[in-house]
Amino acid sequence: MSALASLRERRDPAFDPTLTAFVRFAERRFGLAAGRWNALAARKRLNDLMARGAERGETASDFVARLEQSTEDSPLALAAAEVLPNGETSFFRDLDQLEAVARVDVPAIAERVGRDRPVRILSAGCSTGEEVYSLAMLLFDASFVRWGAPVEIVGVDLRAEAVEQARSGVYPISDLRRVSHAPVGWERRFFRAMPGAELTRARPFLRQLCSFAVGDLLRPATLARLGRFDVVLCRNVLIHFEPGAAQTALQSLRGLLAPMGRLVLSHAEAALNRPFFGEAIG
Ligand SMILES: C[S@@+](CC[C@H](N)C(=O)[O-])C[C@H]1O[C@@H](n2cnc3c(N)ncnc32)[C@H](O)[C@@H]1O
């Protein structure tokens, strides 16, 4: 650490060496660019982990030592994975790109592959599933699914808790109300309010199209069982990575493409994919 950074840390009233060690560990392990984490969420998760350790008599410095010895898949690494990456997402985010996939790419791919197999789409870094369900809704809206074309949309994310929520298809009604650009009447058509709660759930016909898995873009072996995809969407994920990790993730993503497959990055991330620029829509 530079002397200036160290001075800043000591002056910062929120500075906490255990939190710093926890965050540094997670940045290294998950290839996250420095400082791109949610301090409150990290503090809360760290408190939970330390409280559990304290029950066994673990001190703060024991905790840091355990952290430093943690392997990639240790419970501590997995706990850090739940809280540190930025999971911000929303329904119909960057609608123009999703529309292009639903109305142009998917029908063209379906025509090419025929009815022998489904068109397969991956949302890499799907967070709590909004991107996956948005695409499924747009495919219904474009009448692509109604006329029986088989399609599979798979969401994958590092965070098991986000994947669990995505699988449930349950969202606060307020999240749906925040959306400004979307197909007319989509809330009632695709979701059903849950009794006695401010929650709503994706209808079964929408959920049937979508599946979710835990996987790490930095470790291609964790993605291998998902198979190959005609379209791989990876939006607003690589911008949170340090450059080396972004290139590793891009390599994993290219490895998931079926022949003639299309990689779709967000507008902000397309420049990272320069050697393969012709493939990216974003
Ligand atoms: C900002 S969200 C983007 C969600 C969605 N793609 C969108 O554009 O709205 C980034 C997601 O990438 C996930 N992520 C970060 N690193 C990952 C990794 N190595 N493997 C898989 N997912 C990762 C995070 O957990 C988070 O849910």
List, for residues 2-37, the tens digit of each pLDDT value.
554 554 444 454 568 888 888 888 788 888 887 766
Question: pLDDT tens-digit profile of 27-70?
Answer: 888 888 877 667 777 788 788 888 988 899 998 888 888 888 88
3 state DSSP class of 203 = coil
> Which residues have C-beta atoms less than 6 Å from ligand 1?
30, 85-89, 93, 125-127, 131, 157-159, 162, 216-218, 235-237
Q: What dihedral angle (degrees, nearest 10) is formed by the CA atoms of 208, 214, 218, 223?
A: -60
218 neighbors 30 (Cβ within 8 angstroms)? yes
* Residue 89 located in a structural domain: no
Residue 221's pLDDT band (cuts 50, 70, 90): very high
Q: Are residues 171 and 272 in the same domain?
A: yes
Integer Cα distance of 36 and 22 in angstroms = 13
Q: Choose the weakest-confidence range: 66-75, 109-118, 199-208, 235-244.
A: 66-75
Closest CA to 263 of 248, 278, 251, 279: 279
**Position of tokens 């960057």?**
94
Q: Are residues 170 and 208 in the same domain?
A: yes
Domain range for 148 is 95-279
**Position of tokens 């891009």?**
250
Give the pTM.
0.85
Q: What would the mean pLDDT of 87-112 be, rounded to a whole number?
A: 93
Q: Are residues 30 and 108 in the same domain?
A: no
Ligand 1: which of 96, 127, 128, 154 to mutate, most ligand atoms within 8 Å of CB?
127
Q: What would the mean pLDDT of 217-223 be, rounded to a whole number?
A: 93
Nearest residue (by CA) to ligand 1, atom 15, is: 85
Domain count, the chain: 2
Q: How far is the CA of 86 from the centre of ligand 1 (A)?
A: 7
Q: Are residues 100 and 143 in the same domain?
A: yes
Q: Are residues 117 and 244 in the same domain?
A: yes
Nearest residue (by CA) to ligand 1, atom 9, is: 89
Q: Are residues 108 and 195 in the same domain?
A: yes
Q: Are residues 249 and 164 in the same domain?
A: yes
One-letter-per-residue 3-state SS of 90-156: CCCCCHHHHHHHHHHHHHHHHHHHCCCCCEEEEEECCCCCHHHHHHHHHHHHCCCCCCCCCEEEEEE
Integer Cα distance of 129 and 164 in angstroms = 9
Q: Are residues 54 and 107 in the same domain?
A: no
* Residue 88 located in a structural domain: no
Q: How far is the CA of 156 from the centre of ligand 1 (A)?
A: 8
Give the domain CATH number at 130: 3.40.50.150
Residue 108's pLDDT band (cuts 50, 70, 90): very high
Q: Are residues 161 and 269 in the same domain?
A: yes
